Amino acid sequence: MLAVIKDAPKAVRVSTGSISLREAREWRDRRAREDNIKWLSVMEAAEKGKQPPYRDWEDIQSGRVASKLTEIEREQLLDMLENQMDRLLGREKLGDEFYRHGFDSPHVERFISESKEAQQVVSELDRVNNRVGWLEAAEKRVEEDVALAKSSAETLLQSAKKFDAMKLARPCEITPLDARDFMLKLAREGRADSYMKRLQTNARMILTWTFPDNLERHNVFKGHRVRGAKSDPKIPFYPDDLERLFSTEAPNMVIDAYIRAGLYLGTRPSELLHGELDEEQMLFRVGEGEEGAKTEESVRKIPVHPEIVGYIKAVQASDTRLNTLQQTFRKWRNNAGLSKRLTLHSLRHSFTARLSSFRVERHRIEKLQGHKQSGDIHARYAHVRAQDLREEVEMLDWHEVVSNWAAK
């Protein structure tokens, strides 16, 4: 039963702006009958297994993300909130004004701007109806999605801020036409294809989380593809590339240590920053901390080559962000006159290429790098763990084949 039904007739009369106590009683009794019929039908349907059983108001957590509410809970909350708004507007004798013009009425708008209680109700109505901005929707996903890695969460929030700043229609209102205009605007600004594609991906991540059962919302950006020249494939570092790089003065010691550690670990660029060094067991733990892991296979323990313990410590002690490292590396690479196809991700390719030259089996390299393996391969080698592949890691000999490795 709604809370408003439990009010005394006199209170109901005041809250609804009724002119007589009799009308208030009639209104109360009519609503009571309607709600009794409603909940009886809900209970009958629940017994037949058609929908979840009725829940009392106390069972509904107002802080739950709206996309996780059941339909019954959503209806209950909306009824309660709308009745609260009716009572607030009734006190100010704005009920008829709101009925005719809704929130567009200047009198209603002014009242809401001056009433904290009304603002809270409107905010909750927006939340239940998912009428929230991009940033708030993204924050909800970051809060609720425990599997989301920290780096992905940061990128998602940055994209959401961009959507709001560019006045992109809210998640509940955006249409394919809005999406097209948004992409055209980015193109006119000269944005890179990779940047535009990332924004598309993050918009979809927000929409699918906010509207889990609404395919129309999910596909708002469908068909608005970013077509541009494909980037050149990345290449690995070879010993002569590293000699040229190390012969050029590094912008700082952090990027120098990062390159050396990455050649022996084969991690993804962000994993080297957020992993945990276990000196006692000489293992580098990936995906076990707050940062999370990209995939289930990414959670692993990589044997640490004795050559790089100091380099790992230097990188992690600096607390440098990945974007900063990437910019610093590009400057160093360009000063050394190396190919622009060499990136921090090339360290991963170098790890693979070097171990392959020693005829290390592919599935073992994939275990070390946290790659997802195909069904047959996974079933056959499921017992192989990354931490058991120390012998393979110790085959790496960058410190021997790069002539100026020890120069710094």
Question: pLDDT for 13-29, tens place per residue?
Answer: 555 554 566 666 676 67
Q: Which residues pair with 286 in a beta bridge?
A: 300
132 versus 393: the higher-pLDDT residue is 393
From residue 281, how far is each of 234, 266, 276, 291, 392 by CA, in Å?
Answer: 33, 19, 12, 22, 16
Q: Which of 213, 235, 230 is nearest to 345 (CA)?
A: 235
At residue 331, the pLDDT reads 94
Among the ranges given (59-68, 178-187, 257-266, 345-354), the one the predictor scored with the smallest mean pLDDT: 59-68
Q: Is the pLDDT of residue 53 over 50?
A: no
Residue 359 corresponds to which amino acid? Answer: R
- CA 343-349-350 angle, 5° bins: 95
Q: According to the model, what pLDDT value does residue 126 have?
A: 59
Mean pLDDT of 164-172: 84
Q: Give the separation between CA 311 and CA 308, rounded to whole angstroms.
A: 5
Does 257 have pLDDT greater than 90? yes
Interval 277-289 mean pLDDT: 87
Q: What are phi and psi of 23, to 5 degrees?
A: -60, -40
Model confidence at 131, pLDDT cuts 50, 70, 90, reads low
Phi/psi at 153 (nearest 5 deg)?
A: -65, -40
In this model, does residue 171 exceed pLDDT 70? yes
The confidence band for 254, taking pLDDT boundaries of 50, 70 and 90, is very high
Convert the pLDDT of each residue in 66-97 to its tens digit: 444 455 555 655 566 567 667 767 666 666 66
Residue 228, token pair as written in the block? 């541009």
3-state secondary structure 201-227: HHHHHHHHHHCCCCHHHHCCCCCCCCC
Most confident by average pLDDT, 1-15, 117-131, 199-213: 199-213
Distance CA(233)–CA(342), nearest Å, equals 9
Collapsed DSSP state (helix, strand, coil) of residue 274: helix
Summarize pLDDT for 325-358 with one digit per residue, the tens: 999 999 999 999 999 899 999 999 999 999 999 9
- The phi and psi torsions of 276 (rounded to 5 degrees) equal -125, 125
Q: How far is CA 228 from the centre of its chain?
A: 26
Q: Which pLDDT score is estimated for 129? A: 56
**Structure tokens that stand for 89 in this block:** 């507007």
Instruction: Provide the token pair at 183.
Output: 């992409």
pLDDT of residue 151: 81
**CATH no. for 239-407:** 1.10.443
Per-residue pLDDT at 388 exceeds 90? no
Q: Which of 45-54, 63-72, 167-176, 326-335 has the highest mean pLDDT?
A: 326-335
User: Which of 265, 260, 282 is closest to 370 using CA atoms?
Assistant: 265
Which pLDDT belongs to residue 146? 76
Query: Hey, what amino acid is at 174?
Result: I
Please return the burial class of 2, using the count of CB atoms within 10 Å of its CB with bins 0-12, 13-18 and 19+: middle
The residues spanned by each domain of the chain are 3-128, 134-218, 239-407
At residue 224 the predicted structure's pLDDT band, cuts being 50, 70 and 90, is low
Tokens of 223: 């068909």
What DSSP element (H or E) covers 278? strand 276-278
Q: What is the mean pLDDT of the chain?
A: 76
pLDDT grade for 58, boundaries at 50, 70 and 90: very low
Contact 249, 407 (CB under 8 A): no
Using 50, 70 and 90 to split pLDDT, how confident is the model at 249?
very high
Any idea which residue has 């892991």 for tokens? 293
Which stretch of DSSP H or E encloses residue 42? helix 21-47
Edge-to-edge order in the sheet of strand 276-278 = 276-278, 283-286, 300-303
Which amino acid is located at 221 in the chain? F
* CA atoms of 103 and 98, how far apart (whole Å): 7
Give me the pLDDT at residue 303, please: 93
Kindly report the pTM of this predicted structure: 0.49
